[in-house]
Amino acid sequence: MKTTKSFSIGFWLKKTAIKSDGQIPIYARIRVDGVGADISIKRTTFESHWCSESSRLNPRVKGSQSINMYLDDVYADLMDCHRQLYSEGRPITSQKIKLRYLGKDKTFEKLSDIIRYHKEVEAPKLSQGTLKNYGATEKYLKRFIEHQYKTSDIQLQFIDYLFIVDFENYLRTCKPLRSSQPLNNNGVMKHMERFQKLVNIAVKFGCFTANPFNLYGLKYDDYDSAFLEIKELNKLKVVKLKESGLLLVRDLFLFSCYTGLTYTEVELLKKGDIVEGVDGDLWIDIKRKKTKTTVKVPLLPQANEILERYSQYPNQVNQNRLLPVISNQKVNKYLKTIAKLAGINKHLTFHVARHTFATTITLLNDVPFETVSKLLGHTKLSTTQKYARVIEKKISKDMGKLKAVLDREKVKYTSDLIKDPVQLRIV
């Protein structure tokens, strides 16, 4: 092993990955400023054949010469990768040397390079709705750079903590992309979060010696999203609607109110997703598109009634989907009309139905918080807290139960004192 003050290369046996024949994979370890990166060199040996002092095979072992020569070549190639990065003036990290050795390093010099890589590699993994939001963040970044630096792009080396803070301040004061959608604090934080993810790509490829977001914290405002109370839900059910589009949207919205499914999950729901549950009743059994977690929801009668209304809809043409779904934008537009007709003074969107399920349908009917979390398909209880709030009615209901218990205890205590006057005198 040859070592400098901040850079070293060594070879070791990965004993946790021992093969069935007893041989152990040999790995190279690059270390720069104390940070390591490991590479499998696609060679194996027995532990008894390995010399830990020289980090090579024992020369007396048959066949050791060829493997040792290969290790020398790997060492030389890694040293050359270090030299190349140094001569190019690039930040040198163990990960960067590893990627250069594997031929996977990308030349990221400007912010546009990261954005391009994100579109080519990461974007296919994202939903269309999420991808659309990244497009908005990219537009704001471009506007900011043109405003602040009078250019269309910027070198990554100029993205530091000051750049991040200036970008946040710009978002808080600039003209929004859509005049109807001004940026509030949480909107600004969402753009900063997406920008951070772009920067993290550059960090992983060794473009920064330190992540410029290390000292920056996202600060979201807590807020209570709208949901329908039981009276409002009943208003929605009985309001007279004439247009077929409005009738359909009401059914879709109510279906979500009684299942907690998102717009996309309702859209993709198929015949095969309705199964017999452990109790013999019908359940919805799907995987969340966002987190890939399994969601199992008992099909309440109110939701099943809506499915029966569209029992003739599923066929091979629509891939046996259970409900006819129009675009999310049109659904939200129709919901505003329905809310007005029903006299509901709330900003109604399809996502309000999910909040209604979490709060009015389940939590206020004493469904345990942990169960609500499972029904919503959340992996963390903290996520559920944004949906299922312990609201005043729930607090009042719970405290009412507590008062009843305390009253019973009081009556029992008083009765015992009357029966036992000696105890009364002692008290």
State pTM to two decimals. Answer: 0.58
Q: Are residues 140 and 14 in the same domain?
A: no
Q: Are residues 6 and 145 in the same domain?
A: no
Q: Are residues 238 and 316 in the same domain?
A: yes
DSSP assignment of 148-167:
HHSSS--BGGG-SHHHHHHH
CATH of the domain at 251: 1.10.443.10
Q: Are residues 89 and 40 in the same domain?
A: yes
Q: Are residues 367 and 235 in the same domain?
A: yes
Residue 222 lies inside a defined structural domain of this protein: no
- Encode 345-376: b = buried (16+ Cβ within 10 Å), e = exposed: eeebbbbbbbbbbbbbbbbbeeeeeeebbebb
Query: Residue 305: what pLDDT?
Result: 96
Q: Are residues 263 and 354 in the same domain?
A: yes
Query: Residue 388: what pLDDT?
Result: 56
pLDDT, mean of each 10-residue run, the chain (427 residues):
69 94 95 93 94 93 93 95 83 88 79 92 81 92 96 93 97 91 92 96 85 93 82 95 94 96 93 92 86 87 95 89 92 95 94 92 86 84 65 71 80 63 51
Query: Residue 390: what pLDDT?
Result: 57
Q: Give me the residue label for tokens 């912010």.
A: 111
CA separation for the pair 30, 77 (Å, rounded): 12
What sections of 103-184 are H helices per DSSP? 111-117, 128-149, 161-173
Q: Are residues 199 and 136 in the same domain?
A: yes
CA separation for the pair 63, 57 (Å, rounded): 9
Query: Residue 330: what pLDDT?
Result: 93
Q: Are residues 172 and 253 in the same domain?
A: no
Residues 235 and 342: beta-carbon distance below 8 Å: yes
DSSP 124: G
Q: Are residues 301 and 319 in the same domain?
A: yes
Domain span at residue 29 reads 2-102
Dihedral over Cα of 229, 230, 233, 234: its sign: negative
Longest dimension (CA), the chain: 100
Domain boundary pick from 66, 85, 102? 102
Q: Are residues 48 and 184 in the same domain?
A: no
The total number of structural domains that make up the chain? 4
For helices 230-238 and 244-257, the axis angle rounded to 10 degrees is 150
- Encode 6-18: b = buried (16+ Cβ within 10 Å), e = exposed: ebbbebbbeeeee
Q: Are residues 234 and 182 in the same domain?
A: no
User: Reading across the β-sheet that carries 282-287, which strands appear in turn?
Assistant: 274-276, 282-287, 294-298
